[in-house]
Amino acid sequence: MVERLVDRLRSIVGARHTADLRPRQLDDWRRLLAECAEAKGGEVSTRTRAAALAQTYLGLDDEGRHAFLRLISLEFGPEPARVAEAHAAYQAAVGMAAQWDAEADLRAALRSARIRILTQFNAIPQGVKFLVDLRADLLRYLEDDAELAPLDRELESRLAAWFDVGFLELQRITWNAPAALLEKLIEYEAVHEIRSWADLKNRLDSDRRLYAFFHPRMPMEPLIFVEVALTDRLADNVQALLDEHAPVFDARRADTAIFYSISNTQAGLRGVSFGNFLLKRVIDDLQRDFPKLRQFATLSPLPGFASWLRKNPQELAADLPDAELGALASGEWARDLATARRINEGLAQLAARYLTLAKASRGDGRLPLDPVARFHLGNGARIERINPLGDASAKGLKQSIGVMVNYLYDLDELEHNVENFAREGAIANSAAVRRLARPKQVQ
């Protein structure tokens, strides 16, 4: 029976390219999706049907995938008549013994066929990864197709539940990990490119740590990972930190842990947040292994800094009146000591104002414009120090004019900082950063 069903499904869902999508093909998809939502034929048949549909989706070109997702989004929502009837029954039952049954009926009416289809996809082999990748496609199409929003909202909600931090596993990754997993780290590193196997080995040496969150259904796919350097100081330069030829530091002497790279790896999990839990779990793990650790800090980029200067030339003119943004991004000025000293002073002041005063246009206008600042400040860190020329790479100069920031995680202040940031948008920062951010006094 199952074999006959598979053969029938293959003949029905075999179109691979947009040119092959005839109205009859869409009708076949529509019928199969409806059968998935209804669990027609029992559990085995439903899983087989869902697996065949998933295989078909993966074989489609980009336009075909878009059409497939539009079909689910537009035609498999809640039934308006059923919702209206259930809502009327609930309103009539409020305050009576039947209220709770009516509430359950209303909740069932609001549960769309889309959710039932997504749940069937989730249950197939590799179903979780399939849905994560499907949402990555969905987010791309959503930029130009607002009618996909209902499907995206429901899929994001499902993924948030399935990827709850309670289900995730924290693992330390070492040089002895499977080669396939190490290759994923090289592919997914989003902050400081891993240039070679020697570079990766250096990042996994005895004075380094790399931790990742995994989902049990995606055991070889890190969801997010953080790279840590164990040192005896607050690091101010990422090139020095990643120098493959530098001597290995004796980790037993370390009093500081520097988080220098945090990479989200799955585009389809955008909006599903677990980075804050990762850092807290990593800090706990490090404290257990290295009781002498006293400081936990980052060495972070300012990914929106150059863009902000481009849009606010008056800010650049205030501190570096003779500078041109393109020339600054080239890094040529850093070769002359006197010029570098003058420009670094101006960049530090500009960066302090950018971090403490520039606000995001979305939301209530209190959150910092810089996404990395929003992340760390929202987790309770404070802006501790600004490091001009902390990243002299081409990428660092292009996005941050080379400036990097230390966000300090003071464990005694975390809760207080989180509450103030959430309630008032208050930005915790050191006295040194506050001095840099002050307007210049008119002479």
Indicate which residues carry an active-site annotation: 300, 376
First to last CA, the chain: 89
Burial class (CB in 10 A: 0-12, 13-18, 19+), 23: exposed
The full length of the chain comes to 443
d(CA 406, CA 383): 6
Both tokens of 169, joined, read 């596993």
d(CA 136, CA 153): 13
Q: Where are the alpha helices (DSSP H) in 60-112?
A: 62-75, 80-93, 99-110
Both tokens of 225, joined, read 């990972």
Both tokens of 313, joined, read 């030339």
Q: Which residues of 66-87 are buried (b: 16+ CB within 10 A; e: fewer)?
A: bbbbbebbeebbbeeeeeeebe
Strand pairing partners for 295?
A: 256
Both tokens of 259, joined, read 């988080």
* C-beta of residue 266 within 8 angstroms of C-beta of residue 136: yes
* C-beta of residue 250 within 8 angstroms of C-beta of residue 207: yes
